[in-house]
Amino acid sequence: MSKPKKMTLSRKHNLTGWAFLAPGALLILVMSFIPMIRALLLSFQTGVGANMKPCGILNYTRMFQDKVFLQSVKNTFFYLIIQVPIMLIFALILASILNNKDLKFKGLFRTMIFLPCATSLVAYAIIFRSLFANNGLVNLLFVKLGILDQPYAFLTNTFSARIVIIIALLWRWTGYNMVFYLSGLQNIEYSIYEAAKIDGASAVQTFFRITVPLLKPTILLTAIMSTNGTLQLFDESVNLTNGGPANTSITMSHYIYDMSFKYVPNFGYSAAMSFFILILVAILAFLQMKVGDKRD
């Protein structure tokens, strides 16, 4: 009888790796991919509960006739176009400043800027709603300083309500992205900056010709994550402005929630809108990768 072949070391390593990966992969399959497939099937149905029936692409065509949904798309892209570039620029500037080895109390400053990320999404949205209320701190200061004659209704005016959401997002997420840039900067040899300084490069030239090019992969990563997060924006719209006034600050995720749980439940239509967001995220991520990733 021939002896059974012994398992090679490489095969043992592969099997060990798959053994560790299998529980996590199974959970992802059960908790993510199966619900996604069920939601996709649901998006082609209409009705409630046991009365669900196929409707073809009716839910998808309905989206482009729904004025509130189209308004939510416009609002979400307004936040995306304004807030994301400002946030990433601020985060990059702060990271560059706090990467200076001669700066004192760096740890304190880094902690203070990152601290908002540890705040609950609901709690910070409610705090900002209190700050910008008619009798809130912002109106009180503006009136006391003579900037305003009387309190301004920040949250009931379309443009100012959107700006308040953008300010809240900047406060909450700038420090989060700053940490990614700090991590990237600490992998850059400090001797490169010293050589540039000896050659007479200014701080601005160093920033644009050394920091930004070397951090391009990290900038791309944060841009994709921030775009993804903004397209799924929910807490700020619900808890800060409640989508008002007259749905002019509502986001896509907020409207999907309303269609699922606030109004007469329409899970098929909500599922279709959710897949619309998925397609947007995929397209924008692909475009950012094509434009930003120049590696061969």
As beta bridge partners, residue 46 has 53
Token digits for 212?
A: 């930004």
Report the Cα–Cα distance between both ends of the chain, in Å, rounded. Answer: 53
The three-class DSSP label of residue 43 is: coil
Residue ranges in 186-266 assigned as alpha helix (H): 190-198, 203-206, 212-214, 216-231, 235-236, 252-257
Domain spans of the chain, in order of start: 82-250
Residue partners of 243: CB distance under 8 A and separation at least 6? 237, 249, 250, 251, 254, 255, 258
The pLDDT value given to residue 38: 87
pLDDT tens track, the chain, 296 positions: 555 566 677 787 788 888 898 988 899 888 888 888 888 888 888 877 667 787 888 888 988 898 999 999 999 999 999 999 999 999 998 988 888 777 788 888 888 888 888 888 888 888 999 999 988 899 999 999 888 888 888 988 989 999 999 999 999 999 999 999 988 888 888 788 778 888 788 878 888 888 888 888 888 889 989 998 898 899 889 988 888 888 899 999 999 999 888 877 888 888 899 999 888 888 888 888 877 666 54
User: Which fold would CATH assign to domain 82-250?
Assistant: MetI-like fold (1.10.3720)
pLDDT of residue 16: 86
**Whole-structure pTM value:** 0.85
Number of C-alpha atoms within 13 angstroms, CB side, residue 204? 0
pLDDT of residue 4: 59
pLDDT at 202: 81
Query: Residue 230: is it exposed, middle or buried by C-beta count within 10 angstroms (0-12/13-18/19+)?
Result: buried
Q: For position 189, what pLDDT does the model report?
A: 81
